[in-house]
Chains A and B, each alone.
Chain A
């Protein structure tokens, strides 16, 4: 605190407190609703004293949405996407910021534009590509006449086929292919003083060495922040898993929420719905709570 401003401080506290209530209320409602039985949960207004049916509701939601295997899939899926993002975007941003080769700004734009067109926007054709991830290369071979050439020379018909529907790569890869992480790294690399790279070059370090020994250690807080963000982001993915995993074996937890909506004409069992919501929203929340202290401190610890 810089100066004494008691009245203004009091106003700040009141506004922050209102913010706190707004931020926590939905969590409180979900948890309390998950402890009620079906009769109590439908009383208007819902009683704010917790009931006694938490375990029964959690169990009912667990079984109804088949959460044991779905949660495992979700964890696998989210970790893969986050790791892929952290690694590939650091590399791409390094190349864009620290190299000067012909077409570099074109590359920057090529990658940056992917930030603006999320998967949801081009969902229909991406789904078609996922049916055969090698289709683009097949088409290139066909158009350039290489398919024809190989067939005439060796009698071998080239047909590249790698179906990604209902598979883990199909879930993960299209979600890694955006610029969110690259952009974040670029912004960060641009704030690193030029003198650092100059000094490294003067000491005889090549680009690879500079990347691993200077940039990566410097960006560790960014990497952890990015990993957390991407883990949570991947866990929260909904439309793509919904389309790609028609086979329940590969289904993830979040898409199961739809099963839990009380139907308009059935029982309004909001208690079970909220219990399921609680289970499904818990893992990313725990990650953010546990990782937060570390990454906020790492991100911030410049002056204080």
Chain B
């Protein structure tokens, strides 16, 4: 996607982009490079130089079932929460966009969950979903021990997926609704006049015009599921029970700062970075082709 009308002054162009470049060089590329260096060396946590060890850090990681576990769990978490958050938000946005009664109230309120800090809603959901108090504990008083995120890994995973998707429904809803609202009314009316029902209009008009938003949200949701989940996991489960909710970022934090295994954490970072970059390229190649910017 290129602009036809552009400016030719290279200097001014570079001046505009320079502050951002400087920041991302110092706080993004340098640290990423350093992670690469650390991943192939063995760093003493209290200083004393690095020792080149080649692929040893990676071999150690990849032969570690605990690490594979954290990859699987991150993917399960990311896919489940993105699917729920985007699916529910899309349905709510499509219905709110029909401008039935109270649509103004819906439009305001569905956005609220997005305002809440992940650790704060983590704490709220920890109470709501607690096995011995709160709301879901009712289940336990009917069927004892059916729900216990503190002991059952599956329950804990469900709990963090619920908490995370609850927040991101609000986020996705904003973007879907404003994209829907920017679709010209005349298009919808013309289609209705030609006999297209609501479902037909969604499939043939609204969804195609939503593709840029869908693409943007897909990228953001998946990265946020790696990133914003940290607060939820740290407050709700701390990776437990028995590592059942130890997502990749939580493991990096835990190994790097609690275990002081910088090299191991750096190698994990590199693998996560690779995974994520791969995802971006796939998305860009296969999705941008079908995105309409106008």
Contacts and interface: CB of A to CB of B under 8 A. Distances in A.
Interface in A266-304: 268, 270, 273-274, 276-277, 280-281, 284-285, 287-289, 292-293, 296, 299-300, 302-304
Interface string A199-236: 00100001110110000000000000000000010011
B257 interface: yes
Contact of A187 (B4, B26, B212, B262): B212
B272 A121 contact: yes
A165 interface: no
Contacts of A24: 109, 112
A2 B227 contact: no
A263 interface: no
A76 interface: no
A8 B198 CA distance: 9
B227 A94 contact: no
Interface string A243-256: 10000000000110
Interface in B169-189: 169-170, 174, 177-178, 181-186, 188-189
Interface residues of B, number: 120
B5 A88 contact: no
Contacts of A136: 25-26, 30
B226 A16 contact: no
A19 B20 contact: no
Contacts of B59: none
Given A44-B138, A121-B269, A296 B178 contact: yes
Query: How many interface residues does chain A have, given as a range?
Result: 35 or more
Contacts of B138: 44-45
Interface centre among A26, A115, A124, A281 (most CB of B within 10 A): A124
A257 B119 CA distance: 7
B106 A44 contact: no
Given A44-B141, A270-B127, A191 B294 contact: yes
A97 B249 CA distance: 33
Interface stretch (B60-68, B75-83, B230-238): B230-238
A4 B129 CA distance: 42
Contacts of B121: 26, 281
Q: Give chain A's interface secondary structure class.
A: helix
A33 B127 contact: yes
A173 B23 contact: yes
Contacts of A238: 117-119, 230-231, 234
Interface in A76-93: 88-89, 91-92
B115 interface: yes
B32 A117 contact: yes
Nearest to B33: A125
B293 A19 contact: no
Contacts of A2: 188-189, 192
Contacts of A197: 3, 5-7
B223 A115 contact: yes
Nearest to A129: B31
A15 B32 CA distance: 45
Nearest to B118: A236
A256 B196 CA distance: 54
A125 B223 CA distance: 19
B115 A116 contact: no
B111 interface: yes
B101 to A, nearest CB: 7
Contacts of A125: 30-32, 34-35, 38, 266, 269
Nearest to A176: B23
Contacts of A174: 27
Contacts of A69: none
The list of the 10 closest CB pairs from A to B, nearest first, reads: A99-B13, A125-B31, A95-B17, A118-B227, A197-B5, A238-B231, A300-B181, A92-B20, A177-B23, A236-B117
24 contacts: A1-B99, A5-B197, A12-B95, A19-B92, A26-B166, A29-B135, A94-B16, A97-B3, A99-B9, A100-B8, A110-B24, A121-B249, A124-B35, A124-B265, A236-B119, A238-B118, A257-B119, A260-B123, A261-B123, A270-B127, A292-B111, A299-B178, A303-B182, A304-B181
Interface of A: 1-3, 5, 8-9, 12-13, 15-16, 19-20, 22-27, 29-30, 33, 41-42, 44-46, 88-89, 91-92, 94-102, 104, 107, 110-129, 133, 135-136, 173-174, 176-180, 182-184, 187, 190-191, 194-198, 201, 206-208, 210-211, 232, 235-236, 238-239, 243, 254-255, 257-258, 260-261, 268, 270, 273-274, 276-277, 280-281, 284-285, 287-289, 292-293, 296, 299-300, 302-304
